[in-house]
Chain A
Amino acid sequence: MATGSETPAPYPELATNCVGDQGVAAWAGPQFSCHAVHVRVDRETGVARVLDVSAAHDSGTILNPLGALGQIEGGITMGIGQALSEGTRYDDTGRQLNPGLLEYKLQTAADTPTVRTCFIEPGGEGAGPRGAKGLAEAPNVATAAAISNAIAQVIGQPVRQLPMTAERVWLTANELLHSEISNGTGGES
Chain B
Amino acid sequence: MSFLIARSIDDAVAAMAQGARPVAGGSDLVVGARHGVDSLPDDLVAIDRIRELAQIEVNTDGCAIGAGVTHARLMVDETIVRRYPGLADAAALVGSPATRNVGTVGGNIMNGSPAMDTGAPLLVLEATVELRSEVGTRTLPIAGLWTGPRHTAASATELCTSIFLSTPRDRSSSAYVRLEYRRAMEIAVVGAAASVQLNDDGTIAATKIALTAVAPTVVAISVDLIGRPADEQALAMVAAAASDQATPISDLRASDHYRRHTIGVMAKRAFDAAARRAQGEHIAVPVNRTLGIGASS
Direct chain A–B contact by Cβ atoms under 8 Å: yes
Interface of A with B (CB < 8 Å)?
A: 40, 42, 44-45, 47, 49, 84-85, 89, 97-98, 101-103, 105, 107-111, 165-167, 170-171, 180, 185
Given known pairs A40-B297, A49-B297, the reply for A167 and B182 (CB within 8 Å) is no
Residues of B within 8 A of A85 (CB): 181-182
Given known pairs A44-B265, A166-B181, the reply for A111 and B258 (CB within 8 Å) is no
Residues of A within 8 A of B185 (CB): 101-102, 108
Residues of B within 8 A of A170 (CB): 258, 261-262
Residues of A within 8 A of B181 (CB): 47, 84-85, 105, 165-166
In the complex, A102→B95 CA distance in Å?
A: 10
Residues of A within 8 A of B254 (CB): 167
Residues of A within 8 A of B187 (CB): 102
Residues of B within 8 A of A166 (CB): 179, 181, 258
Residues of A within 8 A of B295 (CB): 47, 49, 111
Give chain A's interface secondary structure class. Answer: loop
A/B pair count, beta carbons within 8 Å = 63
Chain A residue nearest in CB terms to B294: A47
Assess whether B265 is in contact with A185, with CB atoms less than 8 Å apart.
no
Residues of A within 8 A of B294 (CB): 42, 45, 47
Given known pairs A42-B297, A47-B297, A97-B252, the reply for A185 and B184 (CB within 8 Å) is no
Give chain B's interface secondary structure class. Answer: loop
Assess whether B252 is in contact with A107, with CB atoms less than 8 Å apart.
no
Q: How many residues of B contact A (CB 8 A)?
A: 24
Given known pairs A47-B179, A103-B252, the reply for A167 and B258 (CB within 8 Å) is yes
The reply to whether the CB of B49 lies closer than 8 angstroms to some CB of chain A is no
Assess whether B183 is in contact with A111, with CB atoms less than 8 Å apart.
yes
Given known pairs A44-B265, A45-B262, A45-B265, the reply for A109 and B184 (CB within 8 Å) is yes
The reply to whether the CB of B253 lies closer than 8 angstroms to some CB of chain A is yes
In the complex, A49→B183 CA distance in Å?
A: 9
In the complex, A97→B250 CA distance in Å?
A: 14
Chain A residue nearest in CB terms to B179: A45
Assess whether A185 is in contact with B250, with CB atoms less than 8 Å apart.
yes
User: Which residues of chain B (27-72) have a CB below 8 Å from chain A?
Assistant: none
Assess whether A110 is in contact with B184, with CB atoms less than 8 Å apart.
yes
The reply to whether the CB of B247 lies closer than 8 angstroms to some CB of chain A is no
Chain A residue nearest in CB terms to B293: A42
18 A-B residue pairs with CB within 8 Å: A42-B294, A42-B297, A45-B265, A47-B181, A47-B294, A47-B297, A49-B296, A97-B252, A103-B252, A105-B181, A107-B182, A110-B182, A111-B182, A111-B184, A165-B181, A166-B181, A167-B255, A180-B257
The one of A105, A107, A185 in contact with B257, judged by C-beta atoms closer than 8 angstroms, is A185
Chain A residue nearest in CB terms to B296: A49
In the complex, A185→B251 CA distance in Å?
A: 10
Assess whether A185 is in contact with B182, with CB atoms less than 8 Å apart.
no
In the complex, A180→B257 CA distance in Å?
A: 9
Chain B residue nearest in CB terms to A112: B183
In the complex, A111→B289 CA distance in Å?
A: 12
In the complex, A84→B265 CA distance in Å?
A: 21
In the complex, A105→B254 CA distance in Å?
A: 14
**Chain A: minimal CB distance from B2 (Å):** 31
In the complex, A170→B257 CA distance in Å?
A: 11
Q: Given A42-B292, A47-B297, A110-B182, 9 more contacts at CB 8 Å?
A: A42-B293, A85-B182, A97-B252, A108-B185, A111-B295, A166-B181, A170-B258, A170-B262, A171-B258
In the complex, A105→B295 CA distance in Å?
A: 13
In the complex, A89→B257 CA distance in Å?
A: 19
Residues of B within 8 A of A101 (CB): 185
**Chain A: minimal CB distance from B289 (Å):** 9
Chain A residue nearest in CB terms to B180: A47
Residues of B within 8 A of A103 (CB): 252-253
Chain A residue nearest in CB terms to B189: A166
In the complex, A97→B253 CA distance in Å?
A: 11
In the complex, A98→B253 CA distance in Å?
A: 10
Chain B residue nearest in CB terms to A174: B261
In the complex, A111→B250 CA distance in Å?
A: 26
**Chain A: minimal CB distance from B96 (Å):** 8
Residues of B within 8 A of A167 (CB): 254-255, 258
Residues of B within 8 A of A110 (CB): 182-184
Assess whether B183 is in contact with A108, with CB atoms less than 8 Å apart.
yes
